[in-house]
Chain A
Amino acid sequence: QVQLVQSGAEVKKPGASVKVSCKASGYTFTTYYMHWVRQAPGQGLEWMGIINPSSGSTSYAQKFQGRVTTTRDTSTSTVYMELSSLRSEDTAVYYCARDQAPGESSGYYLYWGQGTLVTVSS
């Protein structure tokens, strides 16, 4: 069965960077795009970016351009999301979510990681 297992909670100071991992299993890793979505406490969902695990190509929301980097390691079927220059407003649960359409970005996600809480506090 498809599983997305994310790394554990992180506490970071303002200005630092955080790198969250998402290990996929139960399907061919390179077939499906992976998205990153975050949710601040009591707030809505916010789309951050996408990676094509086959080519490594990425696209990001304008809001995060220059601060976010997504990468993948095909040998371990893991995608990573690194967010830099952290500020308190970045405190949120970060989810990886697998696109449902093979080989393309369809924007619908049946499978989600369990979420990683990133807390930014001095």
Chain B
Amino acid sequence: QSALTQPASVSGSPGQSITISCTGTSSDVGSYNLVSWYQQHPGKAPKFMIYEVNKRPSGVSNRFSGSKSGNTASLTISGLQAEDEADYYCCSHAGSSTWVFGGGTKLTVL
């Protein structure tokens, strides 16, 4: 159960789009459509943004979208806004009722 691999940092200008990747293995991301994404601002609990690869809970902006191809899931944020600056984490089912998070990606809005 190794952590999923995410880029340490990504950046973009307001209005642009960015994509954060989350690479696992055929034992986790590749085997299950149970990938979720979380946004975390400093000192706060994580906020649930995407579930089951590409579903958005109510209240989450449609600027956030998710996808998956093979062992890699992705989170895309379009129309970047200053308040999107945060840490982002992916999470995947890893079999046998276990779950694994990614290492996290720091998004900077330039």
Contacts and interface: CB of A to CB of B under 8 A. Distances in A.
Q: Indicate, yes or no, whether A interacts with B.
A: yes
Interface of A: 35, 37, 44-47, 50, 59-63, 95, 100, 105-110, 112-115
Nearest to A57: B97
Contacts of B102: 44
B64 interface: no
A47 B46 contact: no
A50 B57 contact: no
Contacts of B103: 44
B106 to A, nearest CB: 10
A105 B46 contact: no
A109 B46 contact: yes
Nearest to A101: B51
B100 A47 contact: yes
B101 A59 contact: no
B48 A95 contact: no
Nearest to A115: B45
A47 B97 contact: no
A107 B36 contact: yes
B1 A62 contact: yes
Contacts of B100: 47, 61
A46 B97 contact: no
Given A45-B46, A112-B45, A115-B45, A107 B104 contact: no
A110 B56 CA distance: 12
Contacts of A59: 96-98
A61 B104 CA distance: 18
A63 to B, nearest CB: 7
A63 B35 CA distance: 21
3 tightest A-B CB contacts, nearest first: A59-B97, A44-B104, A108-B51
B99 A107 contact: yes
A113 B45 CA distance: 8
Nearest to A113: B45
A114 B99 contact: no
A114 B45 contact: yes
Contacts of A44: 3, 87, 89, 101-104
Nearest to A45: B101
Interface string B34-51: 101010100001101001
